[in-house]
Amino acid sequence: MPGTRYAVHRQTSSLRGVTFQGIPIRALEFYEGLEADNSRTYWTRHRAVYDDCVRAPLQAIADAVQAEFGTPKLFRPHRDVRFSADKSPYKTHQGLVVGAPPSLGYYVQVSADGLAVGGGFHAASPAQTAAWRAAADAPGTGSEIARLVAAATATGAEVRGEQVKTTPRGYAVDHPRIDLIRRRELMLIEPLGAPDWLETPAALDEIANRWRRLTPLLTILDAALGSVPTPTRAR
């Protein structure tokens, strides 16, 4: 197992009645090793570290936040390589989405880079992208979305999601929110690395508080996208 890049200090949490005790630094070390050796041999040898230090803490987060934030989904650690040139079998991060997966929700991720927290929506269909663009275009919702995105980026979030370089049909190139309208989807993700509270129960508070700050934006997105059907994958 590679040596750690990180140092942490103990804190306490204001949340009670949960089994979550923090995310161990060994979770980050696990993904450092997986990046270097993405093989079944490595995975099998270190499976207990994944179960105890990655999956178990994130499942504890899911159990603790469900009542407030919605349905949790812990993503599978295996990559779908059927249509990919990259046949690496395992994802080099573990993600948890809470809300209305797979399209809209709050997000937390653990990887070799540390913890990342955020939320937004991943476009599952052109209809969802059209509904998003209509919301970003409308003077009322669009202005509020722009304000909330600006506030999030001012405190460290990064705007992510697929976007086009050209101007979508039906919108003016000089639209005041053309940068948002060019996006097919919107995610705000704050990369946190390994803060001193990561290995403590206080990590649950830190994650939940960041999600609460995103709730006004997700409420707007839910209103805009809620009536758009989400395609289902053939099983």
In a domain? residue 9: no
At residue 18, the pLDDT reads 52
Is 15 contained in some domain?
Answer: no
Where residue 114 falls (left for φ over 0; alpha for ψ -120 to 50; beta otherwise) is left
Is 59 inside any structural domain?
Answer: yes
CATH number at residue 111: 3.30.930
Q: Residue 97: name the closest of 72, 66, 120, 65 by CA.
A: 72
pLDDT at 12: 36
Q: Closest by alpha carbon to 106, among 58, 57, 145?
A: 58
Determine, yes or no, domain membership for 2.
no
The answer as to whether 104 is a domain residue is yes
User: What does the pLDDT read at residue 135?
Assistant: 96
Instruction: List, run by run, the mean pLDDT of 10-residue segments along the chain (235 residues).
Output: 33 51 97 96 96 96 94 90 80 93 87 97 92 96 97 96 94 96 97 97 96 96 84 50
pLDDT at 111: 98
What domain range is 162 assigned to? Answer: 25-225
- Tell me the pTM: 0.87
* Structural domain count, the chain: 1
- 4 in a domain, yes or no? no
Q: Is residue 17 domain-resident?
A: no
**Residue 214 within a domain:** yes
